[in-house]
């Protein structure tokens, strides 16, 4: 663990993804202390050493919710809480034969694990008296799609965040709940399609700006708001193109 004088503390849950790493870099540049939760902490050590802030990398067992809750609680106690917790765990997959194992894996991480983490963090922030929880979510949750469990899990996460926000307001708790609705990412910056897929640096910057403004829900990058709107309101016969095509063949 590197120790430097810092202004605030942020936890990133699911910190091994390229987007999480970019968020970590930008938060480190803002002098924010970081606690990074990953499946394999040893694989993150060299990345952590590059960051110019106080960093600790800890294990996360999201498939064992009770263990994950203990891991978060232990870190919370050790670091005396956190101002911001970003939840960026997620899995996706597609197989037209619809194997149950694929659906189960998505539900376990995106629904069960996500609920265990956000529920635990909310209660820790309630005790602490303040905080902000940000879920890196997807516009895929606006409507059903070809990866059924993934789309459904993202709708679940959005509704869970809304419920937590309502709960915080009813209890008059200064806890901000932010739902980050992502479009597609240029994860490896390999696609070179800067028009459709914005670079991670820009995505992370827009996310952190929205969090600083305490936004409840934000579309990143901004142009994906239009896609999200279309996804939600297109009539079924246009949205469900395969249905439309098969009808045309008859
Ligand atoms: N990529 C996109 O275009 C896109 C678009 C819209 C929304 N999103 C959303 O953004 C979030 C991150 O997506 P991403 O594309 O950045 O995915 P990613 O690179 O695969 O990252 C997912 C993160 O979740 C962690 N994770 C997965 N399974 C886990 C498990 N069993 N236990 C602990 N950690 C686990 C991964 O850790 P490991 O590396 O250790 O497995 C990784 O840190 C997801 O919620 C996704 O829905 C992504």
Ligand 1 closest atom vs CA 43: 40
Taking the centre of ligand 1 as the mean of its atom positions, its distance from the CA of residue 170, in whole angstroms, is: 32
Minimal-distance CA residue to ligand 1 atom 4: 184
Distance CA 68, CA 156 (A): 20
Taking the centre of ligand 1 as the mean of its atom positions, its distance from the CA of residue 234, in whole angstroms, is: 28
- Please indicate whether residue 239 or residue 15 has the higher confidence score (pLDDT): 15
CB 113 within 8 A of CB 144: no
Q: Please report which confidence band the pLDDT of residue 192 belongs to, taking 50, 70 and 90 as the band edges.
A: low
Q: Please report which confidence band the pLDDT of residue 2 belongs to, taking 50, 70 and 90 as the band edges.
A: low
| 63 has pLDDT over 50 | yes
| Average pLDDT, rounded, for the chain | 92
Map out the domains of the chain with their CATH numbers.
Answer: 8-249 (3.40.50.720)
| 98 has pLDDT over 80 | yes
Mean pLDDT confidence for 222-247: 81
Q: What is the dihedral of CA 20, 85, 162, 93, to 10 degrees?
A: 30
Q: What is the pLDDT of residue 82?
A: 98
- Cβ burial of 127 (10 Å; 0-12, 13-18, 19+) is exposed
Distance CA 189, CA 204 (A): 13
Among the residue ranges 9-23, 172-186, 190-204, the one predicted with the least confidence is 190-204
Ligand 1 closest atom vs CA 38: 40
| 188 has pLDDT over 60 | no
Taking the centre of ligand 1 as the mean of its atom positions, its distance from the CA of residue 20, in whole angstroms, is: 9
- Cβ burial of 196 (10 Å; 0-12, 13-18, 19+) is exposed
Q: Cis omega before residue 192 (within 30°)?
A: no
Mean pLDDT confidence for 55-81: 98
Q: Give the list of residues 6+ apart from residue 174 with CB closer than 8 angstroms, or none.
A: 129, 130, 168
CB 110 within 8 A of CB 62: no
Q: Is the CB of 13 under 6 A from ligand 1?
A: no
Write out pLDDT tens, residues 134-178: 999 999 999 999 999 999 999 999 999 999 999 999 999 999 999
Q: Is the CB of 180 under 6 A from ligand 1?
A: no
| 132 has pLDDT over 90 | yes
Three-state DSSP class for 99? Answer: coil
Tokens for 29, please give them. Answer: 């540049």
Distance CA 172, CA 143 (A): 32
| CA distances (Å), origin 196, targets 52, 193, 211 | 32, 6, 23
Q: What is the dihedral of CA 106, 112, 113, 115, to 10 degrees?
A: 130
Phi-psi category of residue 19: left, alpha or beta, with phi > 0 → left and psi -120 to 50 → alpha: alpha
Q: What is the pLDDT of residue 189?
A: 46
Pairing relationship of beta strands 217-220 and 32-38 according to DSSP bridges: unpaired
CB 109 within 8 A of CB 89: yes
Q: What is the pLDDT of residue 40?
A: 97
| CA distances (Å), origin 171, targets 67, 130, 131, 168, 175 | 28, 12, 14, 5, 10
Write out pLDDT tens, residues 240-249: 876 555 545 4
Q: What is the pLDDT of residue 190?
A: 43
């Amino acid at each position: 663990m590197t120790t430097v004088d810092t202004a605030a503390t942020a936890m990133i849950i699911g910190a091994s993804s390229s987007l999480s790493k970019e968020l970590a870099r930008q938060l480190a540049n803002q002098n924010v202390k970081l606690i990074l939760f990953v499946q394999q902490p040893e694989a993150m050590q060299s990345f952590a050493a590059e960051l110019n802030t106080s960093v600790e990398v800890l294990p996360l067992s999201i498939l064992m919710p009770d263990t994950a809750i203990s891991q978060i609680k232990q870190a919370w106690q050790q670091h005396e809480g956190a101002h911001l917790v970003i939840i960026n765990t997620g899995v996706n997959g597609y197989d037209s034969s619809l194997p149950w194992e694929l659906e189960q894996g998505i539900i376990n991480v995106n629904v069960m694990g996500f609920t265990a983490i956000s529920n635990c963090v909310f209660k820790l922030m309630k005790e602490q008296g303040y905080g902000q929880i940000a879920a890196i979510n997807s516009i895929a949750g606006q409507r059903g799609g070809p990866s059924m469990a993934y789309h459904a899990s993202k709708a679940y996460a959005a509704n869970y965040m809304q419920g937590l926000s309502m709960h915080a307001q009813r209890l008059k708790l200064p806890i901000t709940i932010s739902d980050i609705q992502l479009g597609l990412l240029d994860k490896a910056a390999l696609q070179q399609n800067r028009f459709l897929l914005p670079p991670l640096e820009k995505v992370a910057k827009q996310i952190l700006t929205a969090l600083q403004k305490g936004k409840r829900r934000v579309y990143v990058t901004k142009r994906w708001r239009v896609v999200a709107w279309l996804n939600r309101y297109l009539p079924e016969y246009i949205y469900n193109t395969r249905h439309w095509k098969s009808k045309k063949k008859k």
